[in-house]
Amino acid sequence: MTRSPLLDTAFGFMPAQIVYTAVELGLADALADGPRTAGELAERTGTHAPSLLRLLRALTVLGAVRQQEPDLFALTDEGRRLRRDVPDSIRGMVGLFCAPEVWRCWGQLPEAVRTGEYVWEQVTGETTFEYFARNPELSATFNAAMAEATRNVAPALVKAHDFGRYRTIADLGGGNGTLLAAILSAVPGPKGVLFDLPAALEHAGRTLEEAGVADRCEVVAGDFFQAVPEGADAYVIKSVIHDWDDEKAAALLRTCRAAMTPAARVLIVEPVLPPLVTPELHAALMSDVNMLLTTGGRERTEAEFRDLLASAGLATVSVSGPLGHAGYRIIEAAPADPAPRP
């Protein structure tokens, strides 16, 4: 048979679960202090040595470990990123996107495309964020994954926008504070308000402390469909609008609009899809299908963002160029007159 790139893609579920299993077993952490045999690693990870040897050989061809002798394995530089305690860790992303709940949703993709229905709720019996509130372990993995992704793009965001012009910057759905910490570290003037559900804020204090900005940042737990803190002059909303369908996204933006003074700004940070797909949007397009399954949300084009903002009484002021490798942009919006009712 001639080689088929599509067939390679279809077999992608195998490497994905092999890497996920390495994360689940803590294999990279068990290899942190140097090369080990399968037997030694089996002892450290509580696993079946002959099966672990087979996993290690597969991880070798995936580039996560190096086979130094037939039964002696060391971490590669890429494999090191599966460790929990490294600054460029990808452990949370692997743990989240290959988690059993997400995996089961992806198994329903044909049905989701047939019906357009949001799968996560059918699979787990709860909406995504209700489920996280009751499952602290998956919630912690989710928060870690979001922080890993945000850490990558934060330097480009901070460089692209003049955050120094604001007195108070609120980050709505700001997760564990990774982005707000990066912004406040870069500009000495503004104060911050980190706003999210309680489950997301669990480790926020530590993130803000470590960045040395805890004394300039208030942490507020709440539901952005009910109310958001008033009086900020910038409302950053990163990777949040894409979690929701148009109705919920407009409701969230209306709550935000109701809290804004005429001079305040909304800064949506998300990838923006062009009308014609290009290869560099790979991550955003995969995320779009993931949103169909796991949150009921979607990625959007610039025209869709403009309409959504307008439906919430907000006028688009500017759309930045792409920032970072995932094609994020900053969509700046201001209150349009008159304000609609929340």
| Residues involved in catalysis | 242
How far is the C-alpha of 117 from the C-alpha of 202, rounded, in Å?
31
- Using DSSP, state whether 77 is helix, strand or coil: coil
Q: Is the peptide bond before 15 cis (omega within 30 degrees of 0)?
A: no
Decide if 206 contacts 233 (C-beta within 8 A).
no
**65 bridge partner residues:** 75
Report in angstroms how near the CB of residue 76 gets to ligand SAM at its nearest. Answer: 28
- Ranked by CB distance to ligand SAM, the top (closest) residue is 173
> CA torsion sign, 6 to 11 to 16 to 22?
negative
Question: What spatial distance separates the first Cα and last Cα of the chain, rounded to whole Å?
Answer: 60
**321 bridge partner residues:** none
The CB density around residue 341, as the number of other CB atoms within 10 Å, is: 8
Report in angstroms how near the CB of residue 215 gets to ligand SAM at its nearest. Answer: 22
Closer CB to ligand SAM, 176 or 316, in the complex: 176
Report in angstroms how near the CB of residue 84 gets to ligand SAM at its nearest. Answer: 19
Report in angstroms how near the CB of residue 72 gets to ligand SAM at its nearest. Answer: 39
Closer CB to ligand SAM, 36 or 257, in the complex: 257
CA distances in angstroms from 304 to 23, 232, 318, 331, listed in the order given:
37, 26, 14, 12
Residue 82 exposed, middle or buried by CB count within 10 Å (0-12, 13-18, 19+)? buried
Beta strands per DSSP E along 38-151: 65-69, 72-75
How far is the C-alpha of 138 from the C-alpha of 124, rounded, in Å?
13
Decide if 172 contacts 201 (C-beta within 8 A).
no
Report in angstroms how near the CB of residue 106 gets to ligand SAM at its nearest. Answer: 17
Closer CB to ligand SAM, 89 or 178, in the complex: 178
Closer CB to ligand SAM, 183 or 281, in the complex: 183
Closer CB to ligand SAM, 27 or 269, in the complex: 269
Report in angstroms how near the CB of residue 175 gets to ligand SAM at its nearest. Answer: 3
- Using DSSP, state whether 126 is helix, strand or coil: coil
DSSP state of 166: -
Report in angstroms how near the CB of residue 97 gets to ligand SAM at its nearest. Answer: 12
- Identify the CA nearest to 148 among candidates 340, 331, 335, 326: 326
Residue numbers of the site for ligand SAM (CB under 6 A)? 129, 146, 150, 173-175, 178-179, 196-197, 200, 223-225, 238-240, 243
Closer CB to ligand SAM, 35 or 322, in the complex: 322
Looking at the chain, the number of H-run helices and the number of E-run strands are: 17, 10
Closer CB to ligand SAM, 255 or 316, in the complex: 255
- Using DSSP, state whether 86 is helix, strand or coil: coil
